[in-house]
């Protein structure tokens, strides 16, 4: 009867060991960001970012578990662990495919949800002093004003709405109004939307890269599983 290929066995182990280390790093960093007050202050992380940190904790945990199953399954030649690794990786791949399909089908609803989130940001511009200061810096950096209605998005009594005012070097440029108060004409909504559109190709590339790695892992784990079964 045929034996187990040592090359495939140790390649599978190394691949999953790297996978496991990446999961440890993601989990460790995300937990540190969640519990460290000094890190949150230094990186300007507030409550609105915690959902993303929780997602990273979940992703890191899943990668760690799958990496552990793959490592142990390969080195111990355990069919049970390899099968669990295969099923877990297959579920993740299927979820990615479903998420991609839903994203394409419900694109209009996603745009509507984004519009609603922008409205929530406008509300914070009128009430949240800390957010006002951060958004003012965003306006200055990206040479934009408001989220659709320009200076009107700010509360009339807000002392930080001068983030809309053009810098001296920008006066007379296409991004600055030529009449009345010299404010930026571009909406920060357009800046945010353009950012997501320009980075969509990168996100798709990352998604395809992960899919390729997952397919690679599925093929290796099932091949090793079959070799162990025939041994």
3-state secondary structure 144-192: CCCCCCHHHHCCCCCCCHHHHECCHHHCCCCCECCCCCCEECCCHHHHH
Q: For residue 115, tell me if it sits in a domain.
A: no
For residue 186, being part of any structural domain is answered with yes
In a domain, 119, yes or no: no
The conformation of residue 48, written as its DSSP 8-state character, comes to: G
Number of H helices, E strands in the chain: 7, 0
pLDDT of residue 207: 77
Same-domain pairing of 83 and 167: no
Per-residue pLDDT of the chain (231 residues; tens, 9 = 90+): 455 678 888 888 888 898 888 889 988 888 888 888 777 776 666 665 677 778 888 888 988 999 899 888 888 888 899 899 999 989 988 888 887 777 667 666 666 666 666 666 666 666 777 777 778 888 888 888 877 777 777 765 555 457 777 877 777 777 787 676 778 888 888 888 777 777 777 777 777 888 888 888 888 888 888 888 876
What pTM, to 2 d.p., does this model score? 0.62
The number of folded domains in the chain is 2
Whether residue 123 lies inside any domain: the answer is no
Note whether 138 and 217 are same-domain residues: no
pLDDT recorded at residue 1? 43
Q: Domain check: are 41 and 151 in the same one?
A: no
At 211, is the secondary structure helix, strand, or coil? Answer: helix
Please check whether residue 227 is in contact with residue 4, taking contact to mean a CB–CB distance below 8 angstroms: yes
C-alpha–C-alpha distance, residues 84 and 151, integer Å: 56
């Amino acid at each position: 009867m045929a034996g187990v290929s040592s090359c495939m066995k140790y390649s599978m182990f190394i691949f999953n060991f790297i996978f496991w280390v990446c999961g440890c790093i993601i989990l460790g960093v995300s937990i540190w960001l969640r519990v460290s007050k000094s890190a949150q202050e230094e990186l300007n992380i507030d409550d609105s970012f915690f959902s993303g940190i929780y997602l990273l904790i979940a992703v890191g945990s899943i990668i760690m578990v799958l990496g552990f199953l793959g490592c142990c399954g390969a080195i111990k030649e355990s069919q049970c662990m390899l099968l669990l690794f295969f099923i877990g990786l297959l579920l993740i791949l299927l979820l990615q495919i479903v998420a991609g399909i839903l994203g394409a089908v419900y694109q209009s609803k996603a745009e509507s949800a984004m519009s609603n989130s922008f409205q929530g940001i406008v509300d914070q511009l009128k009430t949240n002093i800390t957010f006002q200061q951060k958004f003012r810096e965003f306006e200055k950096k990206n040479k934009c004003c408001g989220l659709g209605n320009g200076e009107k998005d700010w509360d009339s009594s807000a002392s930080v709405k001068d983030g809309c005012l053009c810098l001296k070097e920008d006066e007379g440029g296409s991004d600055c109004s030529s009449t009345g108060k010299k404010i930026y004409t571009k909406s920060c909504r357009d800046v945010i939307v353009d950012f997501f559109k320009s980075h969509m190709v990168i996100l798709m590339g990352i998604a395809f890269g992960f899919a390729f790695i997952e397919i690679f892992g599925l093929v290796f784990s099932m091949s090793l599983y079959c070799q162990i079964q025939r041994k």
